[in-house]
Amino acid sequence: MSWQEEVDELRRRQEMALALGGPEGIARQRQRGKLTVRERIGALADPGSFREFRGLVGSASYESGRLAAFTPKGAVEGTVRIDGRKVVVNAGDFTVRGGSASSDFRGAIGQEPSAVEHALAWRLPYVRLLDAAGGSVRGFETIGRTYLPDGNGWGQHDVRLLQTVPVVSAVLGSVAGLPAVEAPLSHFSIMVQGISQIFPGGPPVVKAALGYDITKEELGGDQIHVRVSGCVDNLADSEADAFTQIRRWLSYMPRSVNEMAPRGETADPPARAEEALLSLVPRDRRKPYAVRKLIDHVVDKGSFFEVAPFYGRARVTGLARLNGFPVGIMANDPMRGGGATDVAGGSKVMRLMQLCDTFHLPLISLADEPGFLVGLDSEKQGIERAGARLMTMVNLSRMPWCTIVVGRLFGVAGQCQHRPHGMFRRYCWPSASWGSMHIAGGASAAYRREIETAPDPEAKRREIEARLQALASPFRTAEATGQDIIDPRETRALLCEFVEDAQAILREQLGPPAMPYLP
């Protein structure tokens, strides 16, 4: 007695699921310049590594007790391997009802675990490939009623996931409703130029609520969310580029908070000393320098992966390796507003700190901090609250942290480049200068009466500034405090040594983060 008949039925159902939303839906997907859901998984995964689960879930119709038609659910779930490492993937299928979620497939008795629950239980990194319109009023007819918004029964798992494993969201189409919120509900997010948009409600909803017409791209395209809102980190020029960036970002991450990040191979000697570092910072501090060249001179060659390059551009953040060990990197960019930390830059830096603290990566700061951004626009954005949050994040963090002061370090923003507890180390270049505020602006404020009553106020101001500048040598600080000042060419060697020493501390910190990750 064989079960071949039932196996044949299984194969027939699997073939129906492979048809996705049918020829018309697939044709519309291609007309929009997008890959189908299974093509996307194939492009992301190591060849032949996809193992699907919940693949038989869908809407079926029967004739005389035999399956006549089958429409799969609007998502494909399973595990893949990425560079040999297992990852859970959940990919929206826009060809099936626009990828809309259906309550038919949630909460049933005997329901198998979702992709999120699987990633939590198995401690596996999680990748969302978002191409879904969220909820639809069509669903009301399907279930015969409306329902109270109580999706946090599932959302709680997404929040727990952020505290447990690396989470990536890729926006690969017009994404609305809950899936739009899932884009920033991640540790790394990416959009594809020309095909990606996110919004809680699309143009028809905006028209009904606010009475004006707007296109999907104008409302929620990459020019909004990668450059202005900061809801999405990176921009890809194609889906293939997005998958390449996802693979690379994941390469710096551990499998979960319970494991160490993988050390990569490198042929770059730790003692490499770049002569260019000696003259990188101009003596005339009104002249900026290329901070990404500084980063490239210090980290393992070719290892810097920048995160959120178009948002909060006064601060540069990303991942890199030092002697093969993954690290977080942050730096001030003097070519953008002098490198002064604004609300956006502070937000970006805090996300990096949280990432390093959650997944046990050392944090390296290349500091040239003139202070928090001043001015009316900065006040309107709440720079003081942003500064308070940044100070709080610094003091709650615990990952090993090394700051290299290459230039200025002023005020409370400069204070946020230092941590008074845990494994923290600070080195300074001879080009560094510091204080509660800049001498030029500070002298005009502190000596205002003396300057205003002088026979020649301008001459008096210059005299006072010259007197103060004579006290500004970093060597005077070193005489009193023991601050270590280094030859800039020693930077890489010292950082490689720091990161290697940090591994013992990081192993002690394995497990859930001390402070929750907040996206």
pLDDT of residue 148: 73
What pLDDT score was predicted for residue 450? 78
The candidate with the shortest Cα–Cα distance to 345, out of 317, 304, 385, 303, is: 317
225 pLDDT exceeds 70?
yes
- The b-or-e profile of 357-389 (16+ CB within 10 A means b, else e) is bbbbbbbbbbbbbbbbbeeeebeeeebeebbee
Chain segment 129-183, per-residue pLDDT in tens = 999 876 665 666 666 777 677 778 788 999 999 999 999 999 999 999 889 999 9
SS3 492: helix
Q: What is the pLDDT of residue 96?
A: 86
Identify the band that residue 440 occupies on the pLDDT scale cut at 50, 70 and 90.
low
Whether residue 304 is predicted with pLDDT greater than 90 in this model: the reply is: yes
Average pLDDT over residues 246-268: 97
Residue 45 tokens, joined: 């995964």
Q: What is the mean pLDDT of the chain?
A: 91
Distance in angstroms (rounded) separating the CA atoms of residues 307 and 213:
33
Q: How far apart are CA 499 and CA 319, in angstroms?
A: 14
Question: Cα(411)–Cα(441) distance, rounded to whole angstroms?
Answer: 12
DSSP letter string over 331-381? EE-TTTGGG-B-HHHHHHHHHHHHHHHHHT--EEEEEEE--BPPSHHHHHT
Burial class (CB in 10 A: 0-12, 13-18, 19+), 483: middle
What's the pLDDT at 101?
60
**DSSP conformation class of 177:** S
How far apart are alpha carbons 377 and 132 in whole angstroms? 36
Model confidence at 311: pLDDT above 50: yes
What residue ranges of the chain are covered by domains with CATH 3.90.226.10? 4-251, 275-429+486-508
Share of the chain above pLDDT 70, in %: 91
- Those residues whose C-beta lies under 8 Å from the C-beta of residue 421, and which sit 6 or more positions away, are 395
Note the pLDDT of residue 133: 78
pLDDT tens digit string along 321-368? Answer: 999 999 999 999 999 999 999 999 999 999 999 999 999 999 999 999
Residue 466 pLDDT class (50, 70, 90 cuts): low
Long-range (24+ apart) CB contacts under 8 A made by 194-200 are 194/33, 195/32, 195/33, 195/34, 195/239, 196/171, 196/172, 196/221, 196/222, 197/171, 197/173, 197/221, 198/130, 198/171, 198/225, 198/231, 198/232, 199/175, 200/176
- Which pLDDT does position 65 carry in this prediction? 80
- Domain 275-429+486-508 CATH superfamily: 2-enoyl-CoA Hydratase; Chain A, domain 1 (3.90.226.10)
Q: Which residue has the tokens 């859930």?
A: 512
The confidence score (pLDDT) of residue 459 equals 74
Q: What percent of the chain has pLDDT over 90?
A: 70
Q: What is the pLDDT of residue 106?
A: 54
Higher pLDDT, 421 or 433: 421
- In the three-class reduction of DSSP (H, G, I as helix; E, B as strand; rest coil), residue 46 is classed as coil
User: Does pLDDT of 188 surpass 70?
Assistant: yes
Task: Tell whether the model's pLDDT for residue 398 goes beyond 90.
Answer: yes
Q: In this predicted structure, what is the pLDDT of residue 103?
A: 46
CB 231 within 8 A of CB 208: no
- CA angle 219–225–229, rounded 5-degree value: 105
* CATH code linked to domain 4-251: 3.90.226.10
Across the range 235-260, mean pLDDT stands at: 98
What would the pLDDT profile of 258-290 be if each residue is shown by its tens digit? 999 999 999 999 999 999 999 999 998 889 999
- At 239, is the pLDDT very low, low, confident or very high (cuts 50, 70, 90)? very high
Spatial distance between the Cα atoms of 494 and 484, rounded to a whole number of angstroms = 12
Q: What is the pLDDT of residues 52-104, one digit of tens each?
A: 999 888 888 888 888 888 888 889 999 999 999 999 999 998 888 766 665 44
Overall average pLDDT of the 23-49 stretch? 92
Residue 277 CA to residue 97 CA, distance in Å, equals 56
Higher pLDDT, 410 or 469: 410
